């Protein structure tokens, strides 16, 4: 894969100056038109959904050919005519299928062959070109998965034994579903890409062009300089705020790390720790509302839960994650005996807010307000872009016409990889939905976990780590959510049903269903019983009846919370590949800046990002995402103390260094405060307070060694 760092037509001393200028003009023109078209279409739909998605794909296919050329040597673009032919072929082929859509449906209704020989030629060009562009932008994994998926649905499934056997579809049916299907190349995932994702990427580009990126770093430096380990806090705060702009862990690390990592090193933090803090904090950018990368939009589409509800309930878990990283920073500062550092050339907060605050604060407030008021994310994003332009005139970085054009072009440029990827992933999702293999995989997870939700989460975490080695985070989430979220949802709902049986709270309306399974079950559940007995009774209910029980016995609000929790578990675990060896791009990026060993930095960031694994467990066993703010705040409060106790146990320090016995006690307190039981939480908190006070009574020596 060619890095965009070697993009030939953006390099001034490229070998062919004339051609480079031509390509630069062509790239910027296409990028500008694509951005303007998407913004305009959000307000005034100009074309149908399929046509919009195809135009979206055509634009980014053309940009990807130029941005990721086939072969670059010494900044000279080789095979350029081959690339241009590929781009032209992709554009013509995609446009062709937009033009023959009505004819295909007419032929289908007339029971004729849907595709002519010329249609097949363009189909081969389109699908092979999609594989090649996906390989260039994301590597080999996605193309291989696409080939396996299409092979499975056409001929490979017939050769497999057992539950994975699938009677192959005809080549014509496969082609039709791959192009015109609801979950195909131009289907639902492409719709998410062409609307929500692209508009919010443009929104982020406008924020950066307005000076919001500098404001974020200056604000973080102004706030965090007052604390012990302040430079580390700068990394956490800056990465959290930058996450509202970019939603990319690697981009966050590269942009803020060049400032924060040297700051931490000068303050006395070990270089490996400094790089780990930046990588783990930057990973949180993709879980930080209101943008949350592209995952929130995909999640809203999959679950049919309003986007504004998703980002609202995701706020406290995201804050808790960033606090967990900040706790590691404070504990390490105490462990190293560091003191607050007064940085030179740091603007006062009042000056920072006056110079650039309006260009960041006003648009974000407007965006969140519109979402809360119930406006669609696309409408909110476009109004947010307009607000950025207006707010910039209250700062020193006023956005005129040239600045707006630059932001539009940068928005398209930042979307190139995602635009190609999300359309291509539709080919995989199409196979999963067509064959029902997702349900099979979910049943396998349930079987392997043997009803244990924690084991199921561990299995999903392992799968996400393996997928994350070769897939971008968004693609890993899409694949995993399709395969495993139904299993997690069912297991959470089943635990609710078991509790209802134990409490004798099953509604009378489900008695006929239980009578179908076993009349003795219906009579046995009329009174409360021990939880173990309730579990035994539920296990005797056939699987096919459990589906109906979940629908009829569980309150719809509880069912929605379980569905959202399952998807959020998968979404959070999909982020771990950024900081988990052996492939952890955010950690490797931070290691490059800090000049530390990449793999050692990866393990350090993996340790600091433990909140990435704690939160999914809270989602599964507590009502953290229920929308009940009293319950959520209670979980958040105990979670803060629990995570701090666990961080202290792992780092071997709290307010000063501690011994192994003390660390074991703190670990027990941390687990108790995170346990889904009020008594356990209170006991854990009381014990933690005693241990915290005891540190000061024992003096400077390590205690309980």
pLDDT in tens, 183-193: 889 998 899 88
Q: What is the pTM of this model?
A: 0.81
Give Cα 559 distance to the centre of its chain.
22
Please state, for a pLDDT cut of 90, what percent of the chain lies above it.
36
Task: Kindly indicate the confidence band of residue 164, based on its pLDDT and cuts at 50, 70 and 90.
Answer: confident
100-104, 132-136, 168-172, 284-288: least confidently modelled range? 284-288
pLDDT for res 9: 37
Rounded CA-CA distance 345/324 in Å is: 29
631-678 pLDDT, tens digit each: 999 999 999 999 999 999 998 888 788 888 889 999 999 999 999 999
Asked if the model's pLDDT at residue 703 lies above 70, the reply is no
Provide CB contacts within 8 A for 145, sequence distance 6+.
428, 479
HSE of 361 in the Cβ direction (CA atoms, 13 Å)? 11
Rounded CA-CA distance 427/189 in Å is: 10
311-345 pLDDT, tens digit each: 889 999 999 999 999 999 989 888 888 776 665 56
Rg of the Cα atoms in the chain:
27
pLDDT for res 521: 64
Q: What is the DSSP string of 381-394?
A: HHHHHHHHHHHHTT
**Do 163 and 219 touch, CB atoms closer than 8 A?**
no
Ordered by start, the domain boundaries in the chain are: 4-189, 436-578, 634-697
3-class secondary structure, 71: strand
32-46, 113-127, 142-156, 539-553: least confidently modelled range? 539-553
User: In this predicted model, which residue has the larger pLDDT, 160 or 12?
Assistant: 160
Rounded CA-CA distance 239/285 in Å is: 6
Q: What is the mean pLDDT of residues 377-394?
A: 91
Q: What is the mean pLDDT of residues 156-175?
A: 88
Angle at 654 between CA 649 and CA 656, to 5 degrees: 125
Q: What is the mean pLDDT of residues 113-119?
A: 90
Smallest CA-to-CA distance from 501 within 527, 462, 479, 482 is with 527
pLDDT for res 245: 66
Rounded CA-CA distance 367/3 in Å is: 33
List the beta bridge partners of residue 71: 78
HSE of 657 in the Cβ direction (CA atoms, 13 Å)? 9
pLDDT for res 346: 66
Distances (CA, A) of 521 to 194, 261, 272, 527, 538: 51, 62, 59, 12, 9
Asked if the model's pLDDT at residue 307 lies above 60, the reply is yes
Smallest CA-to-CA distance from 239 within 249, 225, 231, 230 is with 249
Task: Kindly indicate the confidence band of residue 525, based on its pLDDT and cuts at 50, 70 and 90.
Answer: low
Angle at 370 between CA 368 and CA 376, to 5 degrees: 110
Q: What is the mean pLDDT of residues 590-608?
A: 89
* Best-predicted range by mean pLDDT (111-115, 276-280, 449-453): 276-280
1-5, 266-270, 637-641: least confidently modelled range? 1-5
pLDDT for res 180: 93
Task: Kindly indicate the confidence band of residue 471, based on its pLDDT and cuts at 50, 70 and 90.
Answer: low
75 — alpha (psi -120 to 50), left (phi > 0) or beta? left
For residue 658, the 8-state DSSP code is B
pLDDT for res 7: 41
pLDDT for res 17: 35
Q: What is the mean pLDDT of residues 376-398?
A: 90
Please state, for a pLDDT cut of 70, what percent of the chain lies above it.
89
For residue 703, the 8-state DSSP code is B
Asked if the model's pLDDT at residue 1 lies above 80, the reply is no
- Residue 540's CB is within 10 A of a number of other CB atoms, namely 13
pLDDT for res 2: 37
For the chain, what is the mean pLDDT? 84
Asked if the model's pLDDT at residue 465 lies above 50, the reply is yes
pLDDT for res 8: 38
Task: Kindly indicate the confidence band of residue 139, based on its pLDDT and cuts at 50, 70 and 90.
Answer: confident
pLDDT for res 700: 47
529-550 pLDDT, tens digit each: 788 888 887 887 777 778 888 8
Asked if the model's pLDDT at residue 102 lies above 80, the reply is yes
- Residue 524's CB is within 10 A of a number of other CB atoms, namely 17
3-class secondary structure, 112: coil
Rounded CA-CA distance 127/178 in Å is: 9
List the beta bridge partners of residue 77: 72
Three-state SS annotation for 464-512: HHHHHCCCCHHHHHHHHHHHHHHHHHHHHHHHHHHHHHHHCCCCHHHHH
Rounded CA-CA distance 306/555 in Å is: 18
Asked if the model's pLDDT at residue 74 lies above 50, the reply is no
């Amino acid at each position: 894969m060619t890095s965009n760092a070697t993009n030939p037509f953006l390099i001034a001393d490229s070998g062919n100056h004339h051609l480079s200028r031509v390509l630069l003009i062509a790239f910027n023109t296409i990028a500008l038109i694509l951005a303007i078209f998407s913004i305009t279409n959000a307000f005034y739909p100009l074309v149908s959904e399929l046509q919009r998605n195809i135009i979206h794909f055509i634009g980014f296919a053309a940009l990807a050919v130029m941005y990721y050329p086939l072969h670059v040597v010494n900044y000279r673009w080789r095979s350029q005519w081959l690339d241009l032919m590929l781009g032209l072929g992709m554009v013509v082929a995609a446009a062709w299928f937009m033009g023959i859509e009505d004819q295909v449906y007419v032929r289908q209704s007339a029971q004729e062959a849907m595709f002519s020989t010329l249609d097949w030629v363009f189909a081969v060009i389109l699908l092979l070109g999609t594989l090649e562009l996906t390989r260039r932008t994301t590597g080999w994994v996605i193309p291989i998965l696409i080939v396996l998926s299409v092979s499975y649905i056409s001929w490979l499934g017939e050769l497999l034994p057992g539950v994975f056997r699938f009677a192959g579809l005809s080549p014509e049916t496969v082609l039709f579903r791959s192009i015109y299907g609801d979950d195909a190349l131009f289907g639902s995932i492409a719709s998410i890409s062409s609307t929500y994702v692209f508009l919010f990427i443009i929104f982020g580009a406008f924020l950066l062009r307005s000076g919001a990126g500098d404001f974020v770093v200056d604000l973080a430096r102004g706030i965090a300089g007052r604390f012990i380990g302040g430079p580390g806090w700068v990394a956490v705060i800056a990465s959290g705020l930058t996450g509202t702009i970019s939603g990319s862990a690697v981009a966050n690390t590269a942009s803020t790390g060049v400032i924060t990592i040297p700051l931490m090193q000068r303050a006395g933090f070990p270089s490996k720790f400094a790089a780990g803090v930046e990588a783990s904090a930057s990973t949180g950018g993709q879980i930080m509302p209101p943008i949350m990368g592209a995952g929130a939009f995909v999640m809203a589409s999959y679950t049919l839960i309003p986007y504004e509800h998703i980002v609202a309930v995701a706020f406290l878990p995201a804050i808790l994650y960033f606090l967990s990283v900040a706790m590691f920073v404070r504990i390490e500062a105490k462990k190293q005996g560091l003191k607050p550092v007064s940085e030179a050339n740091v603007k006062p907060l009042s000056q920072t807010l006056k110079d650039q605050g309006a260009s960041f604060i006003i648009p974000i407030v407007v965006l969140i307000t519109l979402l809360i008021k119930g406006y669609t994310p696309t409408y909110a994003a476009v109004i947010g872009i307009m607000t950025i332009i207006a707010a910039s005139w209250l700062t020193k970085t006023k956005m005129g016409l040239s600045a707006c054009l630059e932001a539009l072009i940068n928005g398209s440029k930042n979307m190139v990889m995602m635009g190609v990827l999300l359309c291509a992933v539709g080919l995989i999702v199409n196979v999963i939905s067509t064959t029902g293999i997702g349900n099979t995989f979910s049943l396998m997870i349930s079987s392997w976990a043997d009803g244990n939700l924690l084991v199921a989460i561990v299995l999903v975490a392992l799968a996400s780590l393996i997928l994350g080695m070769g897939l971008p985070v968004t693609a890993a989430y899409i694949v995993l959510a399709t395969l495993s979220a139904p299993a997690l949802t069912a297991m959470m709902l089943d635990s609710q049903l078991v509790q209802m049986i134990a409490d004798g709270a099953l509604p009378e309306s489900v008695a006929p269903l239980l009578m179908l399974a076993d009349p003795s079950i219906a009579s046995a559940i009329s009174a409360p019983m021990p939880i173990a007995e309730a579990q035994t009774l539920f296990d005797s209910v056939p699987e096919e009846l459990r589906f109906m029980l979940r629908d009829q016995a569980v309150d719809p609000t509880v069912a929605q919370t379980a569905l959202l929790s399952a998807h959020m578990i998968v979404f959070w675990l999909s982020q771990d590949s950024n900081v988990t060896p052996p492939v952890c791009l955010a950690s490797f990026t931070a290691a490059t800046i800090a000049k530390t060993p990449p793999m050692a930095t990866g393990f350090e960031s993996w340790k600091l990002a433990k909140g990435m694994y704690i939160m999914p467990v809270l989602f599964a066993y507590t009502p953290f995402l229920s929308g009940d703010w009293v319950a959520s705040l209670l979980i958040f409060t105990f979670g803060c103390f629990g995570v701090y106790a666990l961080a202290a146990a792992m780092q071997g320090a709290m307010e000063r260094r501690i011994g192994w016995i003390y660390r074991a006690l703190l670990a027990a307190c941390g687990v108790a405060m995170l346990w889904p039981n009020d008594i356990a939480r209170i006991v854990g908190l009381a014990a933690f307070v005693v241990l915290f006070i005891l540190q000061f009574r024992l003096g400077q020596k390590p205690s309980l060694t």
